[in-house]
Chain A
Amino acid sequence: MITKIKNSLSAKLLILLFLIGFIPYLLILVYTKVYGQEQILESTIARESVQMQQIEEAVEMHLQQLHRGLLFLSQLELMDDIVVDDLDHRILQTLEAYHEVLGLEATLLVVNDKHRIVTSTNVQNIDKLYPYAKSLSHRKVFQTYTVDDGKILFVVPIFSQLDSGRELGHLIMEYHVENLQRFNQRSKGVTTAMVNQVYHYHISSQPLEPFELRSDLDRDDEGETLTLYRPINSLLEDWYLVYQLDKSVVFHFLEQLNLYLIIGALFGMSTIALLAFYMSRRVVYPLKLLQEQTREMVAKHRYDLKVPALSDDEVGQLARSFNVLSDDITAVMEALQKESQLRMLRLTQLISLFHQLLSSQNEQSCLQLALHSLQDIVPEHKVTFKVLEENAPFPAIYLYDFEHQRELYYGSLSIDFEQLQEEEKEFFLAAAAMISARLNQLRAYKRLQKDDEAKRTFISYLSHELRTPLHAILTQTQYLIGYESLNEVQQDKIAHIENASQQLLSMINDLLDLAKLEAGKYDLQLETVACEEIVMTIDTVMQMLAPLAEQKELSYTLDSKCDDVNTVIDLRLLRRVVSNLLSNAIKFTDEGEITCSVFVKEKKIIIVIKDSGCGIETKALTTLCDPFVQYGESSQKEKGSGVGLALSQRYAVLFGGTLEINSDGLGRGTTATVTIVTI
């Protein structure tokens, strides 16, 4: 999902527009939700506090008024009538008049210094002891007491006018707490009350929700209601003015606001969503078109695709720029294609030129062919061959002088070389190099032929010319041994001469054979033979060499396991190979055993000659079959021309087999394997 959004510009744009529209709403909502209540609560409390203050002042004023009234009454001269128990009811009349004026639910009464009720607006109480007498003190001030049967007592002491300030008693107003009801306000969601916690008086406009009144706080906002309270004043001890606000009413505005906000947010969001959708379509559609085109362009390598420019805004400009880019790319691609075609053409032309040059047999035809071909390839240039100064600015042809090992200037291709483009120059330089190469090749080939011929002539001549005198020597020595009566010393010396001559002859024969082989003049006498015949041939050879092995007291065995297979082979050559390998084995083995085994494996006859001799170093194995190579120290001890293995290998190849020499290293013996393909 997130990746999809990341990859889609329209989704990003949509989300961005959505967020721009949505976040302010969200912030306002959060603000009103989180802080709104608090703020409204605070402002409500502040407002209601002012109200409460006013009410408190009103209560205060009311009480002060009552106080003043009572004080006035208490200072009337006729209060002295307490002394005579208000015999003339003058006090009573005054109290009643005052009571009437007050219009309150209250009882006014006068108590004498014996706490007996002298007179009272409630006449039934007259002459009785005043029940709250205990709470009356003798302080000379106005006092209020709240008592338990729903009354507040306003008490003013009465002093005699006549009798020099003697305290005669108290003027008391029993003020019914219900009177406080008049200060309660009636409005929606607000309940006001005068509460006395000590006597549990709750004078309220409507029943109060339960709340906790704490002296250290001024509110209780638990639950559904907010309760504000404050002590009324010093005149009404333990009385509190309580404001209880219904939170739902307080927050009504906020809830309404929230509701409108949410509705507004929903409406706004849907509008924004539509707008965002439309905008994203408008902005993104051409971009999407552009993107699809580029994707197709890249996927199908169609660089000539165009994008419609739908508008003149940035996207339209982008589309136009894209089209220009597309044109440029197409042009560049075409140029590149042309160039690569030209290069390919030049390459194929070079290859064909070289191919043609290869078919030329001598220098002249090579040059002619080259010039001719070049003329065909670049008819706009006239190419000739000239021998010029070596440093002339033309493609020069050099030949390699093998004898002096240096390059010699041969000639140059004459064209307007400086006028050519770089690629053309390189082309002609390459052509010149090719001509040089072919000419060198031709010369080397010619020289090689000459050398080979000389070598062959030399060897055949040498062998022929050497053999003739050797035969003479041999004939003469054999005659001397056979027919002259020589003494023992003479015999011995002649025998030495004969032996040396024999060795020399065999060496010359070997050389001659090698020469013949190299020259490819060896005459094969191929015949179809069975495996048994090969075994027999090997056995014959082994018999022949047995005395040599016996001299060294070597174990000397032949294992054979032949299936019914045939092969085409020159038995003469096989005999030579086997005898060579066996004699080598005997030669290089001083003790131990030599085993020869013949078996058939994977349609091949395999002859393995294994000795326990001195072995061969691994690195020496590669050069072992080269002519005139003798292995290691043995050359000093043993006699040989070093041609044996080379001959053997070539013979083996000649009859369609292979020869491999293996050794595990010095002192570990050697294994020679001859493989012959069966038919």
Chain B
Amino acid sequence: MAEATTLILGTLLGGMVMRIIGFLLMTVCMLQAEQWVIIGHGSLPNTRLDAEHVRALYLGKKHYLEEQRIKPLNLKSDNPLRQAFEQDILDLDREEIHAYWIKQHYLGKRPPKVLSSVETLLRYVEQVEGTIGYVPLSAIGKHHVYVWYLP
């Protein structure tokens, strides 16, 4: 009897511990989702971008800046930075974005390339002409990229 009670209590306690840990992690993530900036490859035209531009590029509504084809890069969907970016710029929630791209898919359009990490994104932007991406300002470090837009 005592053993069963212990087991149930243990389970309940375990569940609680997990929830607490999850909460803490989320909090940390929120904290990590610091301010993002739009960076771009060195070959991009020297024009100022506004939020509308960025939104159009990331939703595939616009592909060029002047003569330069722009290739937006995304982070994974579970990345807090992307969530922050989408909230800030796209002004759409997950479902809306998902629905949007399903619709676009049938029109023959693809969402921006997704990369796993900020570091990769930085390297891409550094290497590939016409690429843009959002990274935490602090992450730029010594990467040879240009900051194009600050929210």
Chain B residue numbers with a CB within 8 Å of A161 are 113
Known: A162-B71, A163-B128. A83 touches B116 (CB 8 A): no
Chain B residue numbers with a CB within 8 Å of A83 are 123-124, 127-128
Provide the bound-state CA to CA distance between A164 and B113, in Å: 14
Provide the bound-state CA to CA distance between A77 and B120, in Å: 14
How far in angstroms is the closest Cβ of chain B from A82?
A: 9
Query: With an 8 A cutoff between CB atoms, is B137 at the interface?
Result: no
Chain B residue numbers with a CB within 8 Å of A164 are 69
Known: A84-B123, A87-B123. A162 touches B131 (CB 8 A): yes
Q: Are B129 and A84 in contact (CB under 8 A)?
A: no
Chain B residue numbers with a CB within 8 Å of A84 are 120, 123-124, 127
How far in angstroms is the closest Cβ of chain A from B75?
A: 11
Within 8 A of A (CB), among B89-131: 113, 115-117, 119-120, 123-124, 127-131
Query: With an 8 A cutoff between CB atoms, is A90 at the interface?
Result: yes
Within 8 A of B (CB), among A160-176: 160-164
Provide the bound-state CA to CA distance between A25 and B129, in Å: 88
Q: Are A162 and B113 in contact (CB under 8 A)?
A: yes
Chain B residue numbers with a CB within 8 Å of A80 are 113, 124, 128
Q: Are A81 and B120 in contact (CB under 8 A)?
A: yes
Q: Are B117 and A162 in contact (CB under 8 A)?
A: no
* Partner pick for B120 among A88, A160, A162, A163, CB 8 A cutoff: A88
How far in angstroms is the closest Cβ of chain B from A134?
A: 25
Provide the bound-state CA to CA distance between A161 and B117, in Å: 19
Provide the bound-state CA to CA distance between A84 and B124, in Å: 6
Q: Is chain A's interface secondary structure helix, strand, loop, or mixed overall?
A: loop
Provide the bound-state CA to CA distance between A81 and B115, in Å: 9
Known: A83-B123, A162-B71. A88 touches B117 (CB 8 A): yes
Known: A84-B120, A87-B123, A88-B120. A160 touches B128 (CB 8 A): yes
Query: With an 8 A cutoff between CB atoms, is A85 at the interface?
Result: yes
Provide the bound-state CA to CA distance between A290 and B116, in Å: 120
Q: How many contacts A-B (CB < 8 Å)? A: 36
Chain A residue numbers with a CB within 8 Å of B115 are 88
How far in angstroms is the closest Cβ of chain B from A218?
A: 53
Q: Are B120 and A87 in contact (CB under 8 A)?
A: yes
Provide the bound-state CA to CA distance between A596 and B50, in Å: 197
Chain B residue numbers with a CB within 8 Å of A162 are 71, 113, 124, 128, 131
How far in angstroms is the closest Cβ of chain A from B10?
A: 37
How far in angstroms is the closest Cβ of chain B from A94?
A: 13
- The chain A residue with its CB closest to the CB of B73 is A162
Q: Are A87 and B119 in contact (CB under 8 A)?
A: yes
Provide the bound-state CA to CA distance between A90 and B129, in Å: 21
Chain B interface residue count, Cβ-Cβ cutoff 8 angstroms: 15
* Partner pick for B113 among A77, A85, A87, A88, CB 8 A cutoff: A77
- The chain B residue with its CB closest to the CB of A88 is B116
Provide the bound-state CA to CA distance between A88 and B123, in Å: 11
Within 8 A of A (CB), among B41-90: 69, 71
Chain A residue numbers with a CB within 8 Å of B123 are 83-85, 87
How far in angstroms is the closest Cβ of chain B from A353?
A: 159
Q: Are B129 and A163 in contact (CB under 8 A)?
A: yes
Chain B residue numbers with a CB within 8 Å of A87 are 116-117, 119-120, 123
Mark each residue of chain A from 456 to 472: 1 if its CB lies under 8 Å from any CB of chain B, else 0: 00000000000000000
Provide the bound-state CA to CA distance between A160 and B65, in Å: 21
Q: Which of B128, B130, B131 has the most CB of A within 10 A?
A: B128
How far in angstroms is the closest Cβ of chain B from A518?
A: 179
Provide the bound-state CA to CA distance between A84 and B120, in Å: 6
Mark each residue of chain A from 469 to 489: 1 if its CB lies under 8 Å from any CB of chain B, else 0: 000000000000000000000
Provide the bound-state CA to CA distance between A585 and B47, in Å: 192
Known: A84-B127, A162-B131, A163-B129. A90 touches B113 (CB 8 A): no
Within 8 A of B (CB), among A54-111: 77, 80-81, 83-85, 87-88, 90
Chain A residue numbers with a CB within 8 Å of B69 are 164
Provide the bound-state CA to CA distance between A88 and B73, in Å: 15
Provide the bound-state CA to CA distance between A162 and B116, in Å: 16
- The chain B residue with its CB closest to the CB of A80 is B113
How far in angstroms is the closest Cβ of chain A from B101?
A: 15
- The chain B residue with its CB closest to the CB of A81 is B120
- The chain B residue with its CB closest to the CB of A163 is B128
How far in angstroms is the closest Cβ of chain A from B90?
A: 21
Chain B residue numbers with a CB within 8 Å of A77 are 113
- The chain B residue with its CB closest to the CB of A164 is B69
How far in angstroms is the closest Cβ of chain A from B73?
A: 8
How far in angstroms is the closest Cβ of chain A from B119?
A: 6
How far in angstroms is the closest Cβ of chain A from B91?
A: 26
Mark each residue of chain A from 382 to 405: 1 if its CB lies under 8 Å from any CB of chain B, else 0: 000000000000000000000000
Chain A residue numbers with a CB within 8 Å of B71 are 162-163
Provide the bound-state CA to CA distance between A77 and B124, in Å: 13
Provide the bound-state CA to CA distance between A80 and B124, in Å: 9
- The chain B residue with its CB closest to the CB of A84 is B123
How far in angstroms is the closest Cβ of chain B from A167?
A: 14
How far in angstroms is the closest Cβ of chain A from B50?
A: 25
How far in angstroms is the closest Cβ of chain A from B82?
A: 15
Chain A residue numbers with a CB within 8 Å of B130 are 163
- The chain A residue with its CB closest to the CB of B127 is A83
Q: Are A90 and B128 in contact (CB under 8 A)?
A: no
Provide the bound-state CA to CA distance between A83 and B113, in Å: 14
How far in angstroms is the closest Cβ of chain B from A511?
A: 185
How far in angstroms is the closest Cβ of chain B from A327?
A: 126
Provide the bound-state CA to CA distance between A162 and B69, in Å: 10
- The chain B residue with its CB closest to the CB of A161 is B113
- The chain A residue with its CB closest to the CB of B130 is A163
How far in angstroms is the closest Cβ of chain A from B93?
A: 26
Chain A residue numbers with a CB within 8 Å of B119 are 87
Provide the bound-state CA to CA distance between A182 and B69, in Å: 50
Within 8 A of B (CB), among A13-70: none
Provide the bound-state CA to CA distance between A358 and B121, in Å: 175
Provide the bound-state CA to CA distance between A90 and B115, in Å: 9
- The chain B residue with its CB closest to the CB of A160 is B128
How far in angstroms is the closest Cβ of chain A from B60?
A: 14
Q: Are A90 and B116 in contact (CB under 8 A)?
A: yes
Chain A residue numbers with a CB within 8 Å of B113 are 77, 80, 161-162
Provide the bound-state CA to CA distance between A273 and B33, in Å: 112
Q: Which of B115, B117, B119 has the most CB of A within 10 A?
A: B115
17 A-B pairs besides A83-B123, A83-B128, A162-B71 with CB distance below 8 A are A77-B113, A80-B113, A84-B123, A84-B124, A84-B127, A85-B123, A87-B119, A87-B120, A88-B115, A88-B116, A88-B120, A90-B116, A161-B113, A162-B113, A162-B128, A162-B131, A163-B128
Offer 7 A-B interface pairs, CB within 8 angstroms, sorted by A. Answer: A77-B113, A80-B113, A81-B120, A88-B115, A90-B116, A161-B113, A163-B130
Q: Which residues of B contact A (CB under 8 A)?
A: 69, 71, 113, 115-117, 119-120, 123-124, 127-131
Q: List 10 A-B pairs, minimum CB-CB distance, nearest first.
A: A84-B123, A88-B116, A83-B127, A87-B120, A84-B120, A163-B128, A88-B120, A162-B71, A84-B124, A162-B128
